[in-house]
Homo-oligomer: A and B are copies of this chain.
Amino acid sequence: MPVGTQGTVKGLSPHEVAEVGSQIILANTYHLMLRPGEHLVAAHGGLQGFSGYQGPFLTDSGGFQVMSLGHLRKIREEGVMFKSHLDGREIELTPERSVQVQQALGADIIMAFDECPPYPAERDYIQRSLQRTARWLERCLEAKTRPDQALFAIVQGGIYPELRDESLALTLPFDTPGFAIGGLAVGEPKEELYPAVAYTAARLPANKPRYLMGVGHPEDLVVGIALGVDMFDCVYPTRTGRFGYALTDQGRLNLKASAARTRMEPVDADCDCYACRNFTQAYIAHLLRAEEMLGPRLLSLHNIRYLHRLVERIRRAIAGGELDSWARSWGEQYFKGSLPGWYAQALEEARQV
């Protein structure tokens, strides 16, 4: 899912999001409740009418953003008191309020309000937090009144298998239509991230989508899907595009580098996106140097398309029963030779599932 933090995928028009093959956009509850406010979005008939993107939306709960506010927020059993980063206004976000706002925003998939500890955190804190997350899940489900929205629960527990087990035991009985693997991708090294993803994904129902929140570099998609993840979101393709980088099978290509200024070939000759079909690297490099909007736009477009094409290739490899060998050969190209330990190890675990 490309991320449309403020109700727009940065740099793309809604019809372009559909054209590059995106099937769903993530929007941020925290940002939209502060500005323009959920009531204005609701007056447009929800996010689709507001943003002009006619496909499905997912909203996060706002939890991750308010937790990240550091000294600007206070977490209690009732919910989180925080100060708006826009105007310092004091606001309370509770499970009930999060659901209420997400109902007004009107996404197709909404997320439970969870407490997400940072990395590293005390094991005790992580345990108290996963227990609170389960109590909050119950409150979210009680507050939910719209039958046309699917609420996904979030499994916590950091990198500790026994805490993941505890969280799974508290969460699975609610039998929500999808489950997110939460409390990860918050700073832990990949060596610790993927064993936790593998452990959790393997214990989630096979017939419901598994969503790894906030993750989405190319290598994460390959390994995550191998481990059984179905959904991802990340600002990476658009953010790295705005910074002048293009995603390719050979790694990240820096279009601000001097060498790009005279390259007469497209970013990726195999890519079918608008940027690769119509423009040379030299032109995109010129746009970046001239600080023209079209430069970041073309790279954001390409990068999202690259990830969708990557997933299409992974899907074909799965269908052909050759995911493991495909992922190894893709990785050798991408990492320029030898696979990182965490990547090889995750593929090994995936083979055993």
Contact = CB atoms under 8 A, between A and B. Distances in A.
Interface of A: 6-8, 10-15, 31, 35-36, 40, 43-44, 50-52, 261-262, 264, 274, 278-280, 282-283, 285-287, 289-290, 292-294, 296-297
A12 to B, nearest CB: 8
A183 to B, nearest CB: 28
A52 B13 contact: no
24 contacts: A6-B290, A7-B283, A7-B286, A8-B290, A8-B292, A8-B294, A10-B293, A12-B294, A13-B274, A13-B294, A13-B297, A15-B274, A31-B290, A35-B289, A35-B290, A36-B261, A36-B282, A40-B282, A43-B282, A44-B280, A52-B278, A52-B279, A52-B283, A293-B296
A50 B293 contact: no
A6 B51 CA distance: 30
Complex copy number for this chain: 2
Contact of A8 (B6, B51, B262, B287): B287
Query: Which interface residue of A44, A289, A294 has the most chain B CB atoms within 10 A?
Result: A294
Contacts of A280: 44, 50
Contacts of A44: 264, 280, 282-283
A256 B297 CA distance: 23
Contacts of A297: 13, 293
Contact of A6 (B43, B264, B292): B292
Nearest to A31: B290
A157 to B, nearest CB: 34
A248 to B, nearest CB: 20
A268 to B, nearest CB: 16
A102 to B, nearest CB: 18
Contacts of A274: 13, 15
A315 B11 CA distance: 35
Query: Which interface residue of A10, A40, A261, A289 has the most chain B CB atoms within 10 A?
Result: A40
A293 B293 contact: yes
A296 B11 CA distance: 11
Given A35-B289, A50-B280, A52-B283, 5 more contacts: A6-B286, A8-B290, A13-B297, A35-B290, A43-B264
A43 B283 CA distance: 11
Nearest to A285: B36
B36 A286 contact: yes
A152 to B, nearest CB: 26
Contacts of A11: 293-294
A278 B14 contact: yes
Nearest to A282: B40
A19 to B, nearest CB: 11
A290 B28 CA distance: 13
A165 B147 CA distance: 78
Contacts of A293: 10-11, 293, 296-297
A137 to B, nearest CB: 30
Contacts of A15: 274
Contacts of A12: 294
A43 B289 CA distance: 19
Contacts of A40: 261-262, 282, 286
A294 B10 CA distance: 7
Nearest to A49: B280
Nearest to A13: B294
